Structure 1
Amino acid sequence: MTSITMTRPDDWHLHLRDGEALAAVVGDTARQFSRAIIMPNLRPPVTTTEQALAYREHILTAVAGAGVAAERFTPLMTLYLTNNTSAEEIRLAKASGHVYAVKLYPAGATTNSDAGVTDLLGHCTAALEALQACGMPLLVHGEVTDPGIDVFDREAIFIDRVMVPLRRAFPELKVVFEHITTREGAHYVRDAEGPVAATITPQHMLYNRNALFTGGVRPHWYCLPILKREVHREALVEAATGGSPRFFLGTDSAPHARGLKEHACGCAGCYTALHAMALYAQAFEAVDRLDKLEAFASFHGPDFYGLPRNTDTLTLVREETRVPDELPFGNTTLVPLAAGESLAWRALVDTATA
């Protein structure tokens, strides 16, 4: 196979930041993907519909500045769930027509999560009831933050401590278990009752935790949830390539300045927006399941969210392409995942101008 033409995909988990950082990275996504679920963990976080709509305008302006036609990319906005999010705010978000989900960050779980939830069922019942009633998904960063729990076990324990009680209390609530990283996570989503799905990143399909330490500590492979053992990577590949509609593409692409990654206390996050579809193609081809890539990337996500599938296309060509060592990022640079390595596929990205 020398090329693949597929329905244009969507990214169901994306970090864009704001300001100069947003302007530097949004084009990489908008040229490949038709839509993207935009994470709300800015400083300060996007906690209201008004803030989400303002952020949406920033994104659309940046898309135009990147030379991509406005109709070619749609940001799907989210709210950041806090202990104080009201049911009325959920209803306002739904009525806006531009907010598509609410994101749960357990307090302290990842980048800019200080304002996150400390007790989901203790503080957020009214918001969860409103989400269930209006059919808006709850997107969960599935890790407990108890400092006594090993970082490699936090996802599995989250299932027992949070997901199971949540599903028992709100059985009809749409839940996306974001960026799953473990066999336990994949099997939970596969077998759960009710409307449950999961996103899977390219790095968790391609690498296990050895990648963090090959030749030394490699901060550009550090993300949260952290890379896990090979047995977990294999389970994620099976989930993503197995054809189940519960699993779909979410890059969790997260740009950080090079200096903040290569730091004594480096930031968590892998930048994959530039070459996301090539990375996924490599993962699917490694297990001889390229025929399953289109459904994972283009069908399962919109079907779960209740949105129409895209009608335009994206083509991947078999062409060895070297990942750049670094990319411009405002007045500094960022390092993409697998910098300096060669990928077997390249996406023919959208170059239409605004």
Structure 2
Amino acid sequence: MQFKMIQPDDCHLHIRSGMALKSIIGMTVKQMGRAIIMPNLNPPITNVTQACAYKAEILSALPKGNRFNPLMTLYLTDNTTSKDIQEAIDHDVIAVKLYPAGATTNSDSGVTNIAKLYPTLESMQKLGMPLLVHGEVTRSEVDIFDREAVFIDEVLNQVVSDFPELKIVFEHITTKNAVDFVLASHHKIAATVTPHHLLANRNDMLVNGIRPHYFCLPVLKRRNPHQIALLDVVTSGNVKFFLGTDSAPHMKTDKESACGCAGIFNAHCAIELYVMVFEHQNALDKLEGFASKFGADFYNLPYNKKIITLNKKDWTIPASYSFAHSNIVPFMATKTLSWKLV
């Protein structure tokens, strides 16, 4: 059995830099025609000069003849100006990413008070620059499992109300609250959903011992109602939800430590994971829209011309892959998958 579809886009991807980038970029370009590249390097990509240099580094790391297109973003800080936004548009930067300060990996330079950036958001709204949102509050008194829901109530509702024409992507949503918010919002509000939030929940991370390679932010939630809500909406064919892996590589030693970092690496088999999800939900006919069309439509991009093929074939994910000068444990390591990209 085979399944064919338009080559997908990854609308949310971390690929690091240097040797780490060179170690893993080949996995993504085998699957994706384009990817929206996250800017939370250390130091972060906060201006056009840095974005252009990072894009050049990515292109230089591609296999010879590969036509993968990295779509660059800027990291929003308390000091990002309207001028920065105009320069970004002039240099084909596709979006700006909001990290609340301290929300996740390399987010210490993130936004401390979104209200102070209203002039910048106004420019983004006027110029049509999308805002990509890591939607969590970071106050210590808020339970980590509630951070996404509280962010909707305290921040996102107000931003959407104050900037009704601003395009917003609610990244890597994890809760029924987020699903309901996007469904109730106007057509310029969309969301990405990762394979790990569709295939795993907090039991996978915590039952019978802590599994650090399932730790990500936003953290995995309950199966019911949250994981089920994600599964239902992405396989419904709703155009407001599209593919974004949030693949986030970290060395094995950095994950398996006394203070393990957040991030799940899934670029090695992202499309196979999504195919398994949609097949299990009896919705394979809805996958091409989710993976290859809805994100492109939101960003006003043409569909990729290449057609990819997946075979119905069992294969086992390796226990680890080489990563820079170390190794990395992939999502679902040693598990058997039932689809394989040709």
**Could you say which TM-score interval applies, normalised by the shorter chain?**
over 0.9
Give yes or no for the alignment of 1:81 onto 2:76.
yes
Give yes or no for the alignment of 1:211 onto 2:204.
yes
CA drift at 1:247: 0.1
Partner Cα distance (2:23, 2:250) in 1: 11
Contact 2:187 2:240 in 1 (8 A): no
Match of 1:337 in 2: 331
Match of 1:95 in 2: 90
Give yes or no for the alignment of 1:300 onto 2:294.
yes
Match of 1:141 in 2: 134
1:130-174: per-residue Cα shift (whole Å, max 9, x none)?
111111110000000011000000001110111110011100000
Give yes or no for the alignment of 1:37 onto 2:39.
no
Match of 1:4 in 2: 3
Which deviates more from structure 2 when the two are superposed, residues 219-228 or residues 186-195?
A: 186-195
Corresponding pairs, count: 341
1:84 is aligned with what amino acid? N
SS at match of 2:31: coil
Give yes or no for the alignment of 1:157 onto 2:153.
no
SS at match of 1:301: helix
CA drift at 1:215: 3.1
CA drift at 1:68: 4.9
Partner Cα distance (2:322, 2:303) in 1: 33
TM-score (normalised: structure 2): 0.98
Give yes or no for the alignment of 1:177 onto 2:173.
no
Partner Cα distance (1:68, 1:7) in 2: 22
Partner Cα distance (1:194, 1:16) in 2: 30
1:22-48: per-residue Cα shift (whole Å, max 9, x none)?
001111101100000000000000000
Match of 2:21 in 1: 22
Alignment of 1:156-305 (within 5 A): 156-231=149-224, 232-305=226-299
CA drift at 1:194: 4.3
Contact 1:172 1:194 in 2 (8 A): no
Partner Cα distance (2:64, 2:98) in 1: 31
1:281 is aligned with what amino acid? V
Give yes or no for the alignment of 1:325 onto 2:319.
yes
Contact 1:31 1:68 in 2 (8 A): no
SS at match of 1:103: strand
TM-score (normalised: structure 1): 0.95
Contact 1:323 1:343 in 2 (8 A): yes
Give yes or no for the alignment of 1:118 onto 2:112.
yes
The counterpart of 2:308, out of the listed 307, 314, 338, is 314
SS at match of 1:338: coil
Match of 1:56 in 2: 55
Identity of aligned residues (%): 51
What value does the CA root-mean-square deviation take over the aligned residues?
Answer: 0.8
Match of 2:340 in 1: 346
Q: Please, which runs of 5 or more residues in structure 1 have no aligned partner?
A: 349-354
Distance 1:68 1:214, change over 3 A: farther
Partner Cα distance (2:159, 2:84) in 1: 20
Contact 1:27 1:68 in 2 (8 A): no
Structure 1 stretches of 4+ moved >3 Å: none
1:246-267: per-residue Cα shift (whole Å, max 9, x none)?
0000000000000000010001
Partner Cα distance (1:68, 1:184) in 2: 44
CA drift at 1:193: 2.2
Contact 1:132 1:170 in 2 (8 A): yes
Q: Please, which runs of 5 or more residues in structure 2 have no aligned partner?
A: none
Match of 1:351 in 2: none
2:295 is aligned with what amino acid? G
